[in-house]
Amino acid sequence: MASRTLISSGSPFEAKIGYSRAVVSGEFIFVSGCTGYDYKTSTLAPSITAQTEQTFQNIASALAAAGASMKDVVRVRYILPDRNDFLETWPILQKWLGDVRPAATMIQAGLMEEEMKIEVEVTARRRVPSGGEERVWS
């Protein structure tokens, strides 16, 4: 059976709701949906771009606590209340995941707070030394 490690961000919601920021199970790391909430300043920026940047900083922190990095991300889900905002996030997504190119899905759905403009969930797999290659599906 694979070992299981819980990663916490220190958010009080984790205990109140009953979840972890991330769960490490074997070689996989499952990062819960992250928003643009800045835990250091207890603020949420008003713009989609600032929230997206902070969201990825939060994800990177969770992955680092699990012994991984953004380069280990294999799956990403973007959740936005307004799909029309998605285009504005693309430069930030390119910055964080452009070289990684994980499988991805964008969903339009309501988020917990009206001020939240994006939530991102990722799955990562710790790298095992091998000769990875890009394949084109045809």
Residue 135: predicted pLDDT: 40
Looking at residues 26-45, what average pLDDT do you find? 94
The one-letter amino acid code at 5 reads: T
For 79-92, what is each residue's pLDDT tens digit?
999 999 999 999 99
Please report the DSSP string for 60-100 in residue order: HHHHHHTT--GGGEEEEEEEES-GGGHHHHHHHHHHHHTTT
Residue boundaries of the structural domains of the chain? 4-125
* Record: fold of 4-125: 60s Ribosomal Protein L30; Chain: A; (3.30.1330)
Considering only residues 96 and 39, tell me which one the structure prediction assigns the higher pLDDT: 96
| Cross-strand bridge partners of residue 43 | 38
The predicted model scores a pTM of 0.88
pLDDT surpassing 50 at residue 53: yes
Residue 138: predicted pLDDT: 40
Residue with tokens 């029309």: 84
